[in-house]
Amino acid sequence: MPPVDLNTSVPHSARIYDYLLGGKDNFEADRQAAAAIVKSSPSLPISMRANRQYMARVAHYLAAERGIRQFLDIGTGLPTSPNLHEVVQQVDPATRVVYVDNDPIVLVHARALLTSAPEGATAYIDADLRNVEQILSSPEVKQNIDPSRPVSISLIAVLQFVTDEDEAHRIIDGLLAPFPAGSTLSISTVTAHNPQAVAAAASYRARGIAAKERTDAEVTGLFRGLDLIDPGVVLVNRWRPDTDPVDDVHVQMSGGVAVKG
């Protein structure tokens, strides 16, 4: 692998996320940005953990209850257990997962995402979610995703960085286009219904990181043409909780899961 420029003097959303989850793959610029963001949004670390738990519940549901056996996870972030492949391969070790991210430090640590059960497979693509054609035409997708079978596309905690709705729809429509009915789309993104979430998004923007909060109606609009699965678009802690849910006041992300008809 050629040398990777981590650009450690500039805060990056994935490394801020890592720091707030208690990880070690971050730098002083990320920690300073995180401290400033948390000052205006004290519940952000709790919200990020709730979002991670949401990802795991959604992945388990799709594998165990809907029988999905191939996953395309875009905006993966730094490896944090449980990773998506760990969740779904507990249901069926033959499940195949392709991860996508464009953060250089995620690329450095991608080997932690490639510890597949021998019956299945994991792969990693270094690409931006806006470059749909690069993702779908990559060898990793062509070798691991069967376009004749349903696939789960995950956009977890990433669409807040796509601030133009037309572009968000272009990305979603393009990702789903090659795949058959029964494929699913999972989203979580920053909610406009929590004042701390609005403040956190403003803090990201103040540090040069594009960020947008969305109303529930706007998040629902991201699923246009798809069939939302109950309970629809909700705060992530309220999506089919399997334990006592986190208090709503701490949760800054909403999301949902929908099926291609």
Mean pLDDT, contiguous 10-residue spans, the chain (261 residues): 72 83 87 88 90 96 98 91 94 98 84 89 96 98 98 97 97 98 98 95 90 97 98 97 89 98 95
3-state helix, strand, coil in the chain (%, to 5): 40, 15, 40
Q: Are strands 226-228 and 253-260 parallel, antiparallel or unpaired?
A: antiparallel
Nearest to 23 by CA among 13, 15, 35: 15
Contacts of 131 (CB under 8 A, 6+ apart): none
Q: What local confidence, expressed as pLDDT, does residue 214 receive?
A: 98
Q: How far apart are CA 70 and CA 144, in angstroms?
A: 8
Q: What local confidence, expressed as pLDDT, does residue 12 receive?
A: 81
Contacts of 15 (CB under 8 A, 6+ apart): 25, 26, 27, 30, 78, 103, 105
CA end-to-end span of the chain, whole Å? 41
- Tell me the three state secondary structure of residue 95: coil
Q: pTM score, two decimals?
A: 0.91
Q: What local confidence, expressed as pLDDT, does residue 2 receive?
A: 54
Q: What local confidence, expressed as pLDDT, does residue 3 receive?
A: 61
- CA 50 to chain CA centroid, Å, is 13
The count of other CB atoms within 10 Å of the CB of residue 173 is 12
Q: How much of the chain exceeds pLDDT 70, in percent? A: 98
Q: What local confidence, expressed as pLDDT, does residue 6 receive?
A: 75
Task: Provide the residue type at 121 as one letter.
Answer: A
What is the number of alpha carbons within 13 Å of residue 149 lying toward its C-beta?
Answer: 13
Phi, psi dihedrals of residue 73, rounded to the nearest 5°: -110, 110
